[in-house]
Structure 1
Amino acid sequence: MCEIRRASRKDAHAVAELVDLLFVELGGGKIEPCDRTGIAEHVLSAERSVFGFVAHQRDEMVGVILVNEGMAMYAGGRFGQVTELYVKPEHRSAGVAARLVHEAITLGRTQGWHRIDVGAPHQPRWARSLHFFLSVGFVEVGPRLRLDL
């Protein structure tokens, strides 16, 4: 059985590896090279606004969720935003992702967040991801757009 715990900077390498796997899967096998471990260290060091949880089984990290705290009028004030959620394929359908999301929900309640948002990947290709988020209580509110700076 997997255990879930709060991620720290010392987990940066494992978190980076899991996020790399997420990006490879989302990108159809392609990934932009960069120092993802350094980025993970930087992200995980923002302990007041970024929260990570890892799922591990014995000595293996099998899943991760990263959630940022934001503030917006439309959200009623403070809210959480899931930026990354990944579970290794061989551990999917075992409740790991649901447990990671539950940790984010518990955190959000203790932080006083009014909601948690997540951007679902493109449909219909990622219908399973959409179905998962709907199954744990999320509702569809429309697509998300971005502007790279």
Structure 2
Amino acid sequence: MEMEESLVIRPATAADAPAVAALLTDFNGEPTDAAASARRMAAMEGTETVLLALRGGAAVGLCSLRVVPFLSADHPYAEVTELYVAPQHRRQGIARRLMAEAEALARAKGAPAVYLLTGFRNETAQAFYRSIGYGDYALAMRRRLV
């Protein structure tokens, strides 16, 4: 398949900050600029990796994986914190490839599982995650502090 040949998935670098910002703006519906993306990626260095999907050199998706030590075990905790593919590139296997790369990275860092959060009403995302082997695990809760 041509898409498979032209799709490249690699860790994002500071030079990718404008592309990451554009994808995050589309995903979250709130403006994110390149400076903010670069600053955030620098702050995450060593704990979270942004994987960028490029097709023909253009950024078409991203997946961010956090791998950190935690108190309950001797192995690290791995969590996908972001997954987004631009609408015109969906249903072509890109999200699956991004998740596979994230899982491989988590495994290489010693994590025995990958966790993620998605919205209760985001049935499309839930169906996708179930289709690649994820299942309900816990109820996530939050309290806003600001």
Please tell me the TM-score bracket, short chain as reference: 0.7 to 0.9
Could you say which residue in structure 2 is the equivalent of 1:71? 69
Stretch of structure 1 that moved more, 7-16 or 96-105: 7-16
Q: Which amino acid aligns with 1:131?
A: A
Q: Which amino acid aligns with 1:113?
A: A
Contact 1:43–1:50, Cα closer than 8 Å, also in 2: no
- Give RMSD over aligned pairs: 1.8
Alignment of 1:15-54 (within 5 A): 15-24=20-29, 31=30, 33=31, 35-45=32-42, 46-54=44-52
Contact 2:75–2:110, Cα closer than 8 Å, also in 1: no
Alignment of 1:90-109 (within 5 A): 90-109=88-107
Contact 1:120–1:130, Cα closer than 8 Å, also in 2: yes
User: Offset of 1:41 from its aligned partner?
Assistant: 1.1
Stretch of structure 1 that moved more, 98-107 or 68-77: 68-77
User: Offset of 1:3 from its aligned partner?
Assistant: 1.4
Could you say which residue in structure 2 is the equivalent of 1:27? none
Gapped regions of structure 2 (runs ≥ 5): none
Helix, strand or coil at the partner of 1:72? coil
Gapped regions of structure 1 (runs ≥ 5): 25-30
**Aligned residues between the structures:** 139
Identity of aligned residues (%): 28
User: Offset of 1:71 from its aligned partner?
Assistant: 3.0
Q: Which amino acid aligns with 1:139?
A: G
